[in-house]
Amino acid sequence: MLEISLLREQKERVLKGLKKKHQPESAFLLVDEVIRMDDERKQTQTRLDGLLFQINTLSGQIGDLFKTGKASEANDLKNQVNNIKEEAKELEITLKQLKDNIEEQIIALPNIPNESVPEGRLPSDNTVHFLDESDMPSLDVDAIPHWEIAEKYNIISFKSGVTLTGAGYPLYINKGARLQRALINFFLEEAIAAGYTEYQPPIIVNKETMRATGQLPDKEGQMYHCEKDDLYLIPTAEVPLTNIYRDAILSKNDFPLMLTGYTPCFRREAGSYGSDVKGLNRLHQFDKIEIVQIQHPDDSYNTLMEMVQHVENLVKKLKLPYRILRLCGGDMSFASALTFDFETYSAAQGKWLEVSSVSNFETFQSNRMKLRFRDEDGKTRLAHTLNGSALALPRIVATILENYQTKDGVLVPEVLQKYTGFNIIN
């Protein structure tokens, strides 16, 4: 959620940003509308405060009058107060409506992209930040996609998943399951070595938590909801991890806060179809290790690059062909100011698969969740939040299975072997 002060003080920048994100005409009109409503809100608040002041003062006088036995005079004042109260009640209703309206409108505005975000509307407009062509794999002509490998070695059963739950819920078997566990440990250990603190958060959270990181009201339809308890299954560990510091006021030397956690993630993925959902490409339940940082505004972009480097290091260690994309304005998420996507090359499919997305949200999330810190001069300011996948498992597994396949079986990347306890899947 954007800050109203930003709309007021840097309106040109906001309008430019909305254009870069290819917002509809209505979004531009919203900016002025929100400012106008906020002006009205201030006026209403001031008038209401005046009335409340009168009520407070008169009530004090009434108390004094009763004490000194002047009941009739007190009763006169009572009537007076009752009149003011009616007026105040109306203003209160107006005020509440204004506040609700402002929130409803401003929530519809996306974050403003950073200067360095490229222009463009489509994924093809993203700029390739790095592409290591020398490592592109050359597979045998009879190379097969990961879903066939999974079946061949009986390490993942999509069929059983369908029996148990439905499409998009694979069952990992034997070395398939152990490979998953190895990846989780590898990613967590790497994050810990980089200075992150490991958390094991709840994977079901309440409405307020979903609201604070922006999943609600925006992505209601993409999430699993437990109706009886009005709780939601998390789509990413970002949600509980960032919310740990909801409503907090940090001190400057708390920065940077570095959190990591492994969780299953749940996404309904309504509207997806075709080759996108084949095999492990897109699932309803998957495993992911997330890294989150909460940082001082002055340092957040350095931190973003560090996080990108951390993720890059992971795919390098796994020796997977990858590229990094700087997302263009039109392809970025609603809440992000700057995003780098990582894609690994799934050789048998001949496809780039997104395995990580690393973003700086600046104050977009912290504003919604009131995550602040105390400045040198004692004032509270909003902190910057950042997060990234490090990494999401299914597509990494898909890439490993396809790129490491040989006639004798699938080799296990060297760095994983101490976690798997075996070096080939056959």
Partner RNA sequence: GGAAGAGUGGCAGAGCUGGUUUAAUGCACCGGUCUUGAAAACCGGCGUGGGUUACACCACCGGGGGUUCGAAUCCCUCCUCUUCCGCCA
User: Under the rule (CB under 7 A), what is the footprint of RNA?
Assistant: 38, 42, 45-46, 48-50, 52-53, 55-60, 62-63, 66, 78, 81-82, 85, 249, 372, 374, 380
User: Least separation, in Å, of the C-beta of 46 and RNA?
Assistant: 5
Q: Which is nearer to RNA, 92 or 148 (CB)?
A: 92
User: Least separation, in Å, of the C-beta of 294 and RNA?
Assistant: 16
| Residue 132 one-letter amino acid | D
Q: Which is nearer to RNA, 310 or 384 (CB)?
A: 384
**3-state class (DSSP) for residue 212:** helix
User: Least separation, in Å, of the C-beta of 102 and RNA?
Assistant: 11
- State the Cα–Cα distance between residues 341 and 323, nearest whole angstrom: 8
- State the Cα–Cα distance between residues 270 and 120, nearest whole angstrom: 26
Helix boundaries (H) for 218-360 = 238-243, 300-317
User: Least separation, in Å, of the C-beta of 290 and RNA?
Assistant: 25
CB proximity list for 30: less than 8 A, separation 6 or greater: 105, 106, 108, 109
Q: Which is nearer to RNA, 228 or 407 (CB)?
A: 228
Residue-wise DSSP of 26-44: HHHHHHHHHHHHHHHHHHH
Q: Which is nearer to RNA, 42 or 159 (CB)?
A: 42
Q: Which is nearer to RNA, 52 or 204 (CB)?
A: 52
User: Least separation, in Å, of the C-beta of 212 and RNA?
Assistant: 15
Q: Which is nearer to RNA, 79 or 124 (CB)?
A: 79
- Contact predicate 249/373, CB 8 Å: yes
CA 31 to chain centre: 24
User: Least separation, in Å, of the C-beta of 59 and RNA?
Assistant: 3
Residue-wise DSSP of 269-303: -TT--GGGGSTTSS-SEEEEEEEEEEE-GGGHHHH
**Cis peptide bond upstream of 256, omega within 30:** yes
Which DSSP letter does residue 363 get?
T
Residue 37 has which token pair?
Answer: 């409503």
User: Least separation, in Å, of the C-beta of 241 and RNA?
Assistant: 20
Q: Which is nearer to RNA, 70 or 219 (CB)?
A: 70
CB proximity list for 360: less than 8 A, separation 6 or greater: 114, 300, 301, 303, 304, 336, 337, 338, 339, 384, 386
